[in-house]
Amino acid sequence: SGRWVRAAAIVGEFRRGCGASTEKLRQVAEAMMEEMNKGLASEGGRKLKMIISHVDTLPTGDEKGLFYALDLGGTNFRVLRMNLGGKEARAANKQEFKEVPIPLHLMVGNSDELFNFIATELAKFVSTEGDNFRISAGRQRELGFTFSFPVKQNSINSGTLMKWTKGFSIADAVGADVVAELTRAIERHGLDMHVAALVNDTIGTLAGGRYYNNDVVAAVILGTGTNAAYVESAHAIPKLHGLIPKSEEMVINMEWGNFQSSHLPLTVYDHLLDIESLNPGEQIFEKMLSGMYLGEIVRRVLLRMAEEVSFLGHIVPLKLKIPFILRTPDICAMHHDTSSDLSVVENKLKEILGISKISPRKRRLIVVLCDIVATRGARLAAAGIMGILKKLGRDTIRHGEDQKTVIAIDGGLFEHYTKYRQCLESTLKELLGEKVSKTISVVHANDGSGTGAALLAACHSQYL
């Protein structure tokens, strides 16, 4: 029928708009590398901030002793401790953690209240330290703090909060040194603990990955948002102005979610999503590929089909007009529906949008939409990784046949969206070619951000 043809045409047009051919991805990778160079050259209004993390030493595996970590960056926060026994004992390290939801009123209260709550939970956790987790005599306990909000880092263990995101809004903490705030709260609770490192989730994941595998050179977060960090030669960072650390290396927090380029395959749906977002003009790369937005892009295309060609019946489902009602886990479930009659799609449409009697042919077209959006996202993530590999000169074989490069990836999107992960991995192979792709691998660094902070506390310990 005419309606079906017009619906298919909308999807076809969207598919063409999302097109991420190999050629286009190469241009994206090239542009990523160029922006990396610009961000490393000077501070200022760049697309990529390329933040100097002050992490110039990564764990080697030789670290020993008891270390704590605190991971704050979403609705939960985690406290954990690790007893490190050196390289031989790496796989058998003793580790304990506790996850605590943050009461909503503390997310919008004042700084003292939030940090008092955190210190209280930390003190409770320390008090359950068993015989397996003894601290060496005369030593202070040390902690790594993963704080995944935009921070102006002043040293490995100090940094001022630039702004809150993700639902936090605590005015008197903005502009404050979050390590100083935490340290004061720790002291108020009579705890004897030193904050040795302040990092974000990306850098934690890099450190956690490197601890187990010396070939890890970069980390990527694919969760609600997206970001990447990698190890750069200090000599390749003009804005360090010759302040070369002993290791001659520096971990760079790219903040790649803010990448933009004329080569990105943006559609009218992306433009509208951006304009109507809380941060128009910002985080364009993130809005195309991270978990917060994939479902929302599908919703926007589906809404247009409902409005223009009555794709979901004569009345446009009211719920379909609610921004973000279709979440990425929902489109993931529909995308992976293997039932012959697409009953998962049917149930999702009913449960989320309150609509039924959608024909199998239409359900299939909805799966196609999910596929278009997830495929574009995964292919762009691969192009971003390709940009980092190019920057490091690891997109070709330079260091002989046994050259190995590993990228550590964490985040709920990468962990749970199988087709996304598979597409990312196959696209990376496509971009690298068969020979080089044998030297590159991607690993899932599970909870790298928490354990990574404890490991960074160990290799930036005051006792070294």
Catalytic residue status for 184: no
Enter the tokens of residue 272. Answer: 């509208």
Q: Which stretch binds Mg ion (CB under 5 A): 31-39, 201-209, 377-385, 426-434?
A: 201-209
Catalytic residue status for 78: yes
Q: Which stretch binds Mg ion (CB under 5 A): 92-100, 153-161, 196-204, 440-448?
A: 196-204
CB of 285 to ligand ADP, least distance (A): 15
CA 178, 179, 182, 185: dihedral to nearest 10 degrees? -110
CB of 269 to ligand ADP, least distance (A): 18
The answer to whether 329 contacts ligand ADP (rule: CB under 6 A) is yes
- DSSP state, residue 20: -
Catalytic residue, candidates 148, 290, 449, 461? 148
Q: Which of residues 309-328 bind Mg ion (CB under 5 A)?
A: none
The answer to whether 328 contacts ligand ADP (rule: CB under 6 A) is yes
Query: How long a stretch of residues is the chain?
Result: 464
Q: What CA–CA distance (Å, rounded) separates 421 from 9?
A: 28
* Binding partner of residue 6 among Mg ion, ligand ADP, none, CB cut-off 5 to 8 Å per kind: none
The answer to whether 52 contacts ligand ADP (rule: CB under 6 A) is no
The answer to whether 411 contacts ligand ADP (rule: CB under 6 A) is yes
Distances (CA, A) of 341 to 359, 363, 456: 9, 9, 50
* Binding partner of residue 329 among Mg ion, ligand ADP, none, CB cut-off 5 to 8 Å per kind: ligand ADP
Q: What CA–CA distance (Å, rounded) separates 457 from 144?
A: 5
Q: What CA–CA distance (Å, rounded) separates 269 from 337?
A: 25
* Binding partner of residue 14 among ligand ADP, Mg ion, none, CB cut-off 5 to 8 Å per kind: none
DSSP E strands: which ranges in 3-150? 51-52, 64-72, 76-85, 94-101, 141-147
Q: Which stretch binds Mg ion (CB under 5 A): 89-97, 183-191, 199-207, 397-405?
A: 199-207
What is the longest distance spanned by two Cα atoms in the chain? 81
Q: Which stretch binds Mg ion (CB under 5 A): 123-131, 194-202, 284-292, 344-352?
A: 194-202
The answer to whether 102 contacts ligand ADP (rule: CB under 6 A) is no
Residues forming beta bridges with residue 68, ordered by sequence position: 81, 143
Q: Which stretch binds Mg ion (CB under 5 A): 12-20, 195-203, 231-239, 454-462?
A: 195-203
DSSP output for 82-100: EEEE-GGGGGG-EEEEEEE
Q: Which of residues 62-91 bind ligand ADP (CB under 6 A)?
A: 73-74
- DSSP state, residue 122: H
The answer to whether 452 contacts ligand ADP (rule: CB under 6 A) is no
Q: Which residue number, 386 or 424, has a Cβ lying nearer to Mg ion?
A: 424
Q: Which residue number, 24 or 336, has a Cβ lying nearer to ligand ADP?
A: 336
CB of 274 to ligand ADP, least distance (A): 18
* Binding partner of residue 85 among Mg ion, ligand ADP, none, CB cut-off 5 to 8 Å per kind: none
Q: Which residue number, 342 or 455, has a Cβ lying nearer to Mg ion?
A: 455
For the purposes of burial, counting CB atoms within 10 Å of the CB of 85, is it exposed (0-12), middle (13-18) or buried (19 or more)? Answer: middle
Catalytic residue status for 410: no
* Binding partner of residue 332 among Mg ion, ligand ADP, none, CB cut-off 5 to 8 Å per kind: ligand ADP
Mark 222-261 with x for binding to ligand ADP (rule: CB under 6 A) and - for no binding. Answer: -xxx------------------------------------
Enter the tokens of residue 116. Answer: 């008092």
Enter the tokens of residue 109. Answer: 């209260």
Smallest Cα–Cα separation from 438: which of 407, 408, 404?
Answer: 404
Q: Which stretch binds ligand ADP (CB under 6 A): 151-159, 328-336, 377-385, 450-458?
A: 328-336
Q: Is the dihedral of CA 73, 74, 80, 86 positive or negative?
A: negative
For 427, the enclosing helix (H) or strand (E) is helix 418-437
Asked if 458 and 65 count as a contact pair (C-beta separation under 8 A), the reply is yes
Q: How many CB atoms are closer than 10 A to CB 308? A: 14
Main-chain dihedrals φ then ψ at residue 269, nearest 5 degrees: -65, -35
Catalytic residue, candidates 53, 56, 71, 78? 78
The answer to whether 291 contacts ligand ADP (rule: CB under 6 A) is yes
CB of 199 to Mg ion, least distance (A): 12
Q: What CA–CA distance (Å, rounded) separates 85 from 155?
A: 27
Q: What CA–CA distance (Å, rounded) separates 428 from 378?
A: 10
Q: Which residue number, 224 or 258, has a Cβ lying nearer to ligand ADP?
A: 224
Binding stretches for Mg ion (CB under 5 A):
201
Binding stretches for ligand ADP (CB under 6 A):
73-74, 223-225, 291-292, 328-329, 332, 411-413, 416-417
Q: What are the catalytic residues?
A: 78, 148, 201
